[in-house]
Amino acid sequence: MKKSPLKNRYALVTGASGGIGFEIAKGLLSEGALVGAHYCGNETSVERLRRYGKGQCQAFQADFSHSSEVLRLWDEFLLWSKGRIDILVNNAGEVVRPAPLEALSEELWDAAFQTNVKAPFLLSRAALPIMTRQKKGRIINISSIGVKFGGSPTTAHYSASKAALEALTKSFAKAAAPYNVLVNAVRPGITSTPIHMKAGRGDMSKRVAMIPLKRFANPSEIAEVVLFLASDKSSFITNTVIDAAGGE
């Protein structure tokens, strides 16, 4: 019988209710991990993960637009995991509301950075001491191909926040390396998720034509990269951003 590679490792996946986060959580469960699945509003989707996990998955609700909610989530996760965390996937992200630069308010800017940078910082800062004591751990941040290209004229706040997340990845990686805690980021390309509809994008054919592979990614394809980084197969990889963008 094949041994589950991540059996009994505790993982927290933020934004696990849809798209990439759902597939990451599902993949970790299939590899034997015990998964804390964070969601904001889509409880139905996380309930599917709980049924799939058959006792391995616990749902945690929190609104990352408030730091107090992030910290409450962390406390609740630790109660469930009995103080352990082996894998942290900072996947939750928010486009907020697209706006041209001349109309981009401080409120929209701050909202993007709250969810996309501050929340991952707070969770990574909390997880790091536990992982360093264990002398093992994985922190994986989900960035965006928008960092590579500077985003669109109406999503500067989103792309800038994801660029900051990549910088944060490198800072944590350097601090954590002496303790065998590996910190990396995945930079997905255009993926078939609801976030693009929320961003107000209609016909995406011209955008798809720019991708060498001429298609969107499936969320499961991004999840596979995350599963690799969460596993022992990535034992010599840290301080790295991996593009999963169809050749862009």
Segment 167-171 mean pLDDT: 98
Count: domains in the chain: 1
Distance CA 240, CA 246 (A): 18
Quick check: is 3 in a domain?
no
The answer as to whether 137 is a domain residue is yes
pLDDT tens string 73-116: 999 999 999 999 999 999 999 888 899 999 999 999 999 999 99
152 found inside a domain:
yes
**In the annotation, is 179 catalytic?**
no
With a cut of 60, say whether residue 2 has pLDDT above it. no
* Residue 57 pLDDT exceeds 50: yes
Q: Estimate to the nearest angstrom the gap between the alpha carbon of 57 and the chain centroid.
A: 17
| Domain interval for residue 167 | 10-244
Query: Looking at 23-32, 62-71, 148-157, which range is the least confident one?
Result: 148-157
**Would you say residue 4 lies in a domain?**
no
Report the alpha-carbon distance of residue 136 to residue 182 in Å, rounded: 8
Q: What number of residues does the chain have?
A: 248
The residue annotated as part of the active site, out of 10, 39, 52, 158, is 158
Task: For residue 190, give the nearest of 8, 20, 12 by alpha carbon.
Answer: 20
Tens of pLDDT, residues 192-237 = 776 654 555 556 777 788 888 878 889 999 999 999 999 999 999 9
pLDDT of residue 1: 44
Q: What is the CATH number of the domain that holds 173?
A: 3.40.50.720
Q: Does the CA dihedral 124-126-131-133 come out positive or negative?
A: positive
Question: CA angle, corner 194, sides to 150 and 201, nearest 5?
Answer: 55
